[in-house]
């Protein structure tokens, strides 16, 4: 079992997605060619039998839009036709990633959707690389590229990528402000004309055959297709005169980002990625954070499921401790004794050892479902000890020796303990062998509970009487020694 925490396992929900990224400035035709390669692989490749339908979009998807990006959505075959781990969504995606890795013209990422909708587009981690030192845009972009280069060669990470498209060549309009004022114009006048003519603007509604339709105005394509066409446009000044663009503006080419993102008030780049095979998302988050800390001037923040995972990481020991305290206080109030609850809690580790052992043997990871199984095992193990200790205490009050009371309670309550324990084991057995959507979470819970109940039942029927005798004799001898010391002290003082 992996020592690092994972918020949730990768779930096979019967679908997958593919993100296609080409270099900045790539044409629409090149993007379509890359998506055709994706279609050929999934519809005619080695996993064609596992694919039901495929829908591809060119020019958008994956949080970014542009003619050099694309997205494909894949519905896999029904679960009864994809039996075995080699036909799971994760295995299919891993094979596709290996097949697309050798393409030189495009970056293609095959992904499994996240188990929780709304917390990320795919399983893995979502990290925000923040510019907290006031670096220039060029320096920040260089730091981003350095981190991506180091992450691409790290054996603990795979498919580390930007959520937005790379910087593209852009036409920059340089405005001479003094000239602008001299012609009676304001920057707002220029921006209004430019955005309307080249980008289009909504101006009104009209009714056509009983339906309300919108009116948009925009310059004709032949008058806005070349950078030199900018000089053919005019702006109306405050005196009603038309001033040509060439009299106060010039154009030049530059490289600019597609989007300007900020996170927590800082300029940021969002990086998504996945852990390598055999690694958990906690391992991947720790590794990418370690790489980022080696770059001066940047900091790391988390978003989506990674933010929730980082909040939950480290809370399990506190949760277990609170659970044990609550059980101890409830039992102390029930038995009106501080020793019997201690005898009950000493049995709890027997169940936890079995749960961790079975999860490790099945190759599962330390996720939230395992922690739920451990908490359930703690309660069920305490239940077995309560059944036996209650009768032992009753027999002890009737005047029997501690060891005789424990043996009698073990004999009387053996059958009820076995019946309730194995009834629960068989009840959760379907969870341990579950298939279909959400099966990984049910498997983790079922495996942990079955393993914990088996060891808690087989070992506890011997150790519960032992712990009861050990604690009760220890308390009795301790009280007897305390009374003897107090008596001798009083005699000495007298």
Whether pTM exceeds 0.95: no
* Of 359, 351, 328, 330, nearest in space to 341 by CA: 328
Q: What are phi and psi of 283, to 5 degrees?
A: -60, -45
* Tens of pLDDT, residue by residue, the chain (494 residues): 444 445 556 677 778 888 888 887 778 888 888 888 888 888 888 888 888 888 888 876 655 667 788 888 888 888 878 877 788 888 888 888 888 877 777 888 888 876 666 555 666 778 888 888 888 888 888 888 888 888 888 888 877 888 777 777 788 888 888 888 888 888 888 888 888 888 888 888 988 888 999 999 888 888 888 888 888 888 888 888 898 888 888 888 887 777 778 888 888 888 888 787 767 777 788 888 888 888 888 888 888 777 777 776 667 777 778 877 887 888 788 777 777 788 888 888 888 888 888 888 887 777 778 888 888 888 888 888 887 877 787 787 787 887 888 888 888 888 888 888 888 888 888 888 877 777 777 888 888 889 888 888 888 778 888 887 877 776 665 555 555 666 667 667 76
The CATH classification number of 1-123 equals 3.30.70.1430
Superfamily of domain 126-167+257-313: Multidrug efflux transporter AcrB pore domain (3.30.70.1440)
Q: What are phi and psi of 80, to 5 degrees?
A: -70, -15
Q: What is the pLDDT of residue 360?
A: 84
Q: What is the pLDDT of residue 381?
A: 82
CATH topology of domain 168-256: 3.30.2090
What span, in angstroms and rounded, lies between the C-alpha atoms of 456 and 382? Answer: 9
> From 1.20.1640.10, 3.40.50.300, 3.40.50.11740, 1.10.10.10, which CATH number describes the 316-481 domain?
1.20.1640.10
| CB neighbour list of residue 339: distance below 8 Å, 6 or more residues apart | 471, 472, 474, 475
Domain with CATH 3.30.70.1430 in the chain: 1-123
Tracing tokens 């495929």 back to the chain, one arrives at: 54
The token duo for 402 is 């501690």
């Amino acid at each position: 079992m992996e020592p690092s925490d994972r918020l949730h396992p990768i779930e096979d929900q019967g679908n997958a997605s593919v993100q296609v990224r080409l270099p900045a400035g790539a044409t629409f035709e090149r993007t379509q060619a890359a998506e055709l390669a994706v279609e050929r692989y999934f519809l005619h490749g080695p996993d064609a039998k596992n694919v039901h339908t495929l829908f591809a979009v060119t020019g958008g998807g994956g949080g970014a839009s542009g003619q050099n990006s694309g997205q494909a959505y894949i519905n896999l075959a029904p679960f009864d036709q994809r039996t075995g781990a080699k036909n799971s969504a994760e295995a299919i995606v891993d094979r596709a990633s290996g097949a697309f890795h050798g393409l030189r013209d495009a970056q293609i990422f095959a992904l499994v959707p996240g188990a929780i909708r709304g917390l990320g587009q795919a399983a893995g981690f979502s990290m925000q690389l923040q510019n907290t030192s006031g670096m220039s845009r060029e320096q920040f972009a260089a730091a981003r590229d350095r981190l991506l280069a180091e992450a691409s060669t790290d054996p603990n990470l795979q498919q580390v990528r930007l959520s937005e498209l790379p910087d593209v060549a852009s036409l920059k309009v340089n405005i001479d402000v003094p000239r602008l004022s001299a012609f009676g114009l304001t920057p707002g006048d220029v921006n209004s004309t430019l955005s309307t003519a080249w980008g289009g603007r909504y101006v009104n509604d009209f009714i056509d055959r009983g339906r309300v339709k919108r009116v948009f105005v925009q310059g004709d394509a032949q008058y806005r297709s070349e950078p030199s066409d900018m000089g053919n446009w005019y702006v109306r000044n405050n005196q009603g005169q038309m001033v040509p663009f060439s009299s106060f503006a010039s154009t030049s080419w530059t490289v600019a980002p597609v989007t300007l993102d900020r996170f927590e008030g800082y300029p940021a780049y969002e990086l998504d990625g996945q852990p390598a095979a055999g690694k958990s998302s906690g391992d991947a988050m720790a590794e990418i954070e370690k790489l980022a800390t080696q770059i001066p001037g940047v900091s790391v923040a988390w978003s989506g499921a990674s933010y929730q995972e980082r909040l939950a990481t480290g809370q399990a020991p506190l949760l277990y401790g609170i659970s044990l305290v609550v059980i101890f206080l409830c039992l102390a109030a029930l038995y009106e004794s501080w020793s019997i609850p201690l005898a009950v809690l000493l049995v709890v580790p027997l169940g936890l050892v079995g749960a961790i052992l079975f999860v490790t043997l099945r190759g599962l990871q330390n996720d939230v479902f395992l922690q739920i199984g451990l908490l359930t095992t703690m309660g069920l193990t305490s239940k077995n000890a309560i059944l036996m200790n209650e009768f032992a205490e009753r027999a002890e009050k009737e005047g029997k020796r501690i060891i005789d009371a424990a043996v009698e309670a073990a004999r009387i309550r053996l059958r009820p303990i076995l019946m309730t324990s194995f009834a629960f084991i068989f009840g959760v057995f379907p969870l341990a062998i579950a298939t279909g959507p959400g099966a990984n979470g049910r498997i983790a819970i079922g495996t942990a509970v079955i393993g914990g109940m088996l060891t808690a039942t087989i070992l506890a029927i011997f150790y519960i009487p032992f712990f009861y005798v050990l604690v009760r004799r220890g308390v009795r001898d301790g009280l007897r020694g305390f009374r003897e010391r107090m008596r001798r002290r009083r005699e000495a003082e007298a």
